[in-house]
Amino acid sequence: MSLIHPGRSFTSQTGCDSIVNVQLDFMASVAGTESYSGCSGDGYAVTINGTIYNELNPSGVEVLTSQNGCDSIVTINLIFQNIVSVTHSYTGCAGDGYALVINGNVYNESNPNGVEVISGTMGCDTAVTIQLVFQPIRSASISYVGCEGDDYEVVVNGILYNAFNPQGTEIMTALNGCDSVITISLSFLTGTQHGIQYTGCVGDNYSIIVNGTVYSESNPTGMEWLTGSNGCDSVVTVNMVFGNQFVVNENYAGCEGDGYSILVNGNLYDEQHPLGMENISGVSGCDTLVYIDLLFAPASTSSFTYSGCAGDGFSIVVNGTTYDEQHPNGVETMTTVHGCDSTIMVAMTFVDADSNSISYTGCVGDGYAVMINGTSYNESNPIGTEMVQTADGCDSIIQIALIYEDCDVQNLDCAVFIPNVISPNDDGINDEFSFGYAASCEVTDFRVALFDRWGSELYSSTDPSFTWNGEFKGKQLPPGVFVYIAEIYFKDASAPFGQEGDLTLIR
């Protein structure tokens, strides 16, 4: 800006005139802005007027003086966006068709895990971790072979199965939300009744013994129930007629072990001696030819077995008795109106959900960490609960409690650091079981041994630098809890170090 004043005349002491022209210039001040938008940790910085502006000092105002002596005001505003990390987890059932599309890639049962990086509008990335778990579908079968009229029935999933509804398939949902498919197949055999018919001569002294009862001319008719050691009943109807000489066929069809026998003409016929012919002469001269043919069929037995998880609610009713998790085993004998017994052996197994704990007490900054179910537990995340699935398909609950204390290393008498969980999955975290020692300690004698829950030794070593990777005889052991015993002697230590503890193996 300029201001020009019109000329004026001034008279000097000498009487001469002086003309003065005045011009004033006013320079405008300058205002500017230093703006930036980036990502956290990208290292961007700018220095203005000797002051450094970066992620730690992102905003301010600086006044700069130019060569003409006027000020310039600079406003600084730096924005740093956070990088986002997201985990997408899903637990479902095998074959449920669940799928997820992220960044153009399909994640499903065939491709359940991965990491995708998505760029945002500010140029910052979002890391998405995908973890999909598909539980297997379990199956079981109920098979039964019995006799018609034995009243056997079983209730599965609220549906009654018996002789009128002998076959079907039921789908039951377990605690993990997945289905158990149960196939029911009941078979009912035709019951048997047997008759002993005899026609002979009066006074021929013919008699038979059935179930301890003597049948003869004085006791010619009756009915006997015979029960074998295998539970198979036979109903025997005896009808004897004494008259003129006849040819008699003594036929019998029963069950093995039912104890049936007849005495004909002084000879015993039974399961060991089933065939023969007897000629019996009566006092009146009436002879009777008796042909004996005894048939003993194999016993009919059946069994029902079931293996499931504790709390799945499965139950069956056999012969009016309910079998479930509180009453899993028993024997039932069912008798039809025809006398045919069926023996049913019931054996049900319910696997309990495991409940384990992982505890650790160490020092602040010792770097101890454990990875369980994809979650890292360390000094920043010391407490939690995880649920994993065991090899038999049931749930295992793990409680984690890590304690980090302030340790005075100089007061430790050769401290030993022993983990209580390993996960040998080659992820570089807790893959092996080993001991850690203070750097100043010298081991002079060493012994460690590991045992399973039944006390069988799985591993031992006398090497202080040993490592164990969860294998026995070259094969990977299933997840479980093991026991270790350690005895360590240190040079110049006041006493040997001895400890027993649990080691949890997860996969």
What residue spans define the domains of the chain?
Answer: 1-82, 84-135, 138-190+300-351, 193-297, 354-505
Could you give the dihedral angle defined by the CA atoms of residues 152, 154, 160 and 165, in that order, rounded to the nearest 10 degrees? -50
In angstroms, what CA-CA distances link 135 with 308, 383, 395, 502?
15, 26, 11, 29
Q: What is the pLDDT of residue 338?
A: 44
pLDDT tens digits, 423-472: 888 887 888 999 887 767 888 999 999 998 888 899 999 999 999 999 99
In angstroms, what CA-CA distances link 273 with 31, 207, 269, 293, 298?
124, 17, 5, 9, 16
**DSSP 8-state symbol, 341:** E
SS3 state at 78 = strand
Q: How many CB atoms lie within 10 A of CB 119?
A: 10
* Global pTM exceeds 0.75: no
Sheet bearing 233-243, strands edge to edge? 193-201, 233-243, 221-227
Burial label, 262 (beta-carbon count in 10 A; 0-12, 13-18, 19+): buried
480, two tokens: 């479980």
What is the sign, positive or negative, of the torsion defined by CA atoms of 359, 361, 364, 367? negative
Instruction: Look at strands 138-147 and 179-189 and give their pairing.
Output: parallel
Closest by CA to 264, choosing from 345, 202, 206, is: 206
58 Ramachandran zone, left/alpha/beta (phi>0; psi -120 to 50): alpha
Burial letters 266-276, b for 16+ CB under 10 A, else e: eeebebeeeee
**Chain centroid, CA 479 distance in Å:** 11
Mean pLDDT by 10 residues, the chain (507 residues): 52 64 61 81 86 92 77 85 79 84 90 85 77 81 79 89 91 72 82 75 81 88 74 77 73 81 90 86 66 77 75 82 88 63 78 68 72 83 79 71 64 72 84 82 90 89 93 90 90 80 87
Closest by CA to 444, choosing from 497, 505, 388, is: 497
> Cα(423)–Cα(199) distance, rounded to whole angstroms?
83
Q: What is the pLDDT of residue 409?
A: 42
Q: What is the pLDDT of residue 335?
A: 64
75, two tokens: 């406003």
Q: What is the pLDDT of residue 333?
A: 79
In angstroms, what CA-CA distances link 340 with 311, 317, 356?
37, 20, 51
Q: What is the pLDDT of residue 160?
A: 93
Alpha helix (H) residue ranges in 166-315: none
Q: What is the pLDDT of residue 408?
A: 46
In angstroms, what CA-CA distances link 495 with 96, 101, 331?
60, 61, 60
151, two tokens: 């009243």
**DSSP 8-state symbol, 166:** -
202, two tokens: 């009066």
Q: Any residues with CB less than 8 A from the CB of 104 and at least 6 apart, and which? A: none
Burial label, 242 (beta-carbon count in 10 A; 0-12, 13-18, 19+): buried
